[in-house]
Structure 1
């Protein structure tokens, strides 16, 4: 508890304390108490349209990326769960994108998606899918979709690994009994596999959602401070570093913390709700 208080509690308390002041990065030692002005004042975070734009971007990013990663991770996990001589090699290969540091993978994809020199545009033009190079990370209509897909490529192996571990816990007797009774594969999946692995999948979704709500590196590396892709973490960084407004940035960081806490509580409440019998 002492270690947790030192590592997590003290920085959080200090951030909340700074959010109640007019502290600036250039003069951090001289600041005064302003109460909730950084939250609900005339120039407070909650009155800033850019903050709410960042909130919307973050929630949409989280919902889209987590949904795609869960579906793809489930499919990959079920494929890897089948006996095969190459199963160990395939499991190791699937984890390669997840093992690459996010900043490195984001920079790698930035070059691959470059509008003039990127290999993605070159390949798509070679097969006739596009007529001219696309600005994947500069075009406001494409940049958000691009970062979602890059994040899905990066984190799907994490979901696949957790779901694969859950599939290992399904008793083989259930599958043998279903095979003897001639149960169709879809019913086996929906009535046996899915109910058993559902709690583990829910935990994986919670972990991934919490991580997605804090997304910063992939967005900042690929699109910087673009309004179309700005997340809550990028907004916090902009206030703290670019504008040097420690009080405003701390208020935004505090709101981000409580948003993550609220989503965590909501996920836990849903996952603990009793499942209704399916007719």
Structure 2
């Protein structure tokens, strides 16, 4: 149980934990989990001294000295208040020394915890300082207006608020049409591809289960598509589907399956057909291999007895092969359904989820949100949703298709 927890459950728990926070690498304030109010002293000390210096320059130049002195007094008073805090003072001095010596500042000393009252006071003062300077800039021509307003605008960015948002990402995604479309695309891909692979895989397994000359070579040859790495086969089929030079696209056009060669990868239906056809080509050998293993466990004496009783091939298939192959079909369907539902590399290389998200699966959506948009909180939420879907599929298979198998095992 501990091993199962570490391997399977712990990553899901960790993803769920991260999904409760607004984690975004694109926002410096949200690159880590924050449960408390903090101040980034590195950011603060990269702004405050320069803002004071800019104010002093304008005061010496005679630009609204009384009002600028009042603003400087507020900023200085708050800075002194920060330094009176014993838990902040040590980090304040350490960060200041490193910045003065042009050394890198670690987050361990740059992040200091502050109370909510201090945060509120800081934000109100920062907003008021910027508004006052903005108003004065319209009345007085500052020497370095852009620099002064820029520093005032960035002064309040040192505060880091708690980024705990609870189940907000789950609420947003469950009401998002894009996520439901991705799940719909995933379901269509899974159902059609797995059904086609089951039918074709069973036919191939029945064929190569018979004794004939060259059976070993045929069995080895059939496994070649499955042995090719998914990314490689997807790139290969991308060239074959090409609207200008693709051989497969040209054949489909000649046979009337598509109106134009370009339709395969630039239309919604064509793109979905392309990824399903490629997946069936690649994974049918895997399905056939699993079913072949099940066929070889069926005693040949059963077929001999049925033949003596006058049962034809179809009758033998329905009364002997299918019932005794049920456990193998269950395993093959379970593995392939879970694998197809989590499909990523095949579609990502072949279509990238396009055109217009028509082949975007839930795994590709999670990847785009987490890595392309660097939104790790929402990406983690989508990962948990994928896990829930996979868990539901597993329970359905075990409940409805594996019931007899479980009963047999308990009976023994």
**Normalising to structure 1: TM-score of the pair?**
0.92
Does structure 2 retain, via aligned residues, the 8 Å contact 1:114–1:135? no
Greater mean deviation of Cα atoms: 263-272 or 106-115: 263-272
- Work out whether 1:207 is the aligned partner of 2:335: yes
Greater mean deviation of Cα atoms: 5-14 or 243-252: 5-14
Q: What do residues 16-39 of structure 1 show as CA deviations (whole Å, max 9, x unaligned)? A: 111111011344225421111111
What displacement does 1:157 show?
A: 0.4
What displacement does 1:120 show?
A: 1.5
Structure 1 regions of 5+ residues with no counterpart? Answer: none
Q: Which has the higher contact order (CA 8 A, sep 6+)?
A: 1
Match of 2:211 among 63, 78, 83: 83
Q: What do residues 126-149 of structure 1 show as CA deviations (whole Å, max 9, x unaligned)? A: 677766423312211210011011
Does structure 2 retain, via aligned residues, the 8 Å contact 1:62–1:212? yes
Alignment partner, residue 229 of structure 1: 359
Alignment partner, residue 187 of structure 2: 59
Cα distance in structure 2, aligned partners of 1:93 and 1:198: 26
Written as runs of structure 1 = structure 2, the 5 A alignment for 1:215-254 is 215-226=343-354, 227-254=357-384
What displacement does 1:83 show?
A: 0.1
Alignment partner, residue 64 of structure 2: none
What displacement does 1:78 show?
A: 0.3
**Normalising to structure 2: TM-score of the pair?**
0.63
Alignment partner, residue 193 of structure 1: 321
Task: Return closer, same or farther for 1:208/1:125 CA change in 2, 3 Å cut-off.
Answer: closer
Cα distance in structure 1, aligned partners of 2:209 and 2:223: 15
Alignment partner, residue 16 of structure 2: 16
Cα distance in structure 2, aligned partners of 1:131 and 1:219: 23
SS in 1 for 2:23: coil
What displacement does 1:121 show?
A: 2.8
Alignment partner, residue 257 of structure 1: 387
SS in 1 for 2:232: helix
What displacement does 1:243 show?
A: 1.7
Q: What do residues 73-112 of structure 1 show as CA deviations (whole Å, max 9, x unaligned)? A: 0000000011012111010000000000000000000001
Alignment partner, residue 174 of structure 1: 302
Does structure 1 retain, via aligned residues, the 8 Å contact 2:258–2:264? no
Alignment partner, residue 47 of structure 1: 175
Alignment partner, residue 105 of structure 1: 233
SS in 2 for 1:249: helix
Task: Return closer, same or farther for 1:166/1:30 CA change in 2, 3 Å cut-off.
Answer: closer
Cα distance in structure 2, aligned partners of 1:205 and 1:137: 28
Q: What do residues 17-76 of structure 1 show as CA deviations (whole Å, max 9, x unaligned)? A: 111110113442254211111111xxx111110000001111111111110000000000
Cα distance in structure 2, aligned partners of 1:4 and 1:98: 29
Task: Return closer, same or farther for 1:271/1:132 CA change in 2, 3 Å cut-off.
Answer: closer
SS in 2 for 1:207: helix
What displacement does 1:177 show?
A: 0.7
Alignment partner, residue 157 of structure 1: 285
Does structure 2 retain, via aligned residues, the 8 Å contact 1:202–1:271? yes
> What count of residue pairs does the alignment treat as equivalent?
272
Does structure 2 retain, via aligned residues, the 8 Å contact 1:25–1:240? no
Does structure 2 retain, via aligned residues, the 8 Å contact 1:103–1:217? yes
Cα distance in structure 2, aligned partners of 1:5 and 1:201: 28
Cα distance in structure 1, aligned partners of 2:372 and 2:11: 21
Structure 2 regions of 5+ residues with no counterpart? Answer: 35-162, 406-412
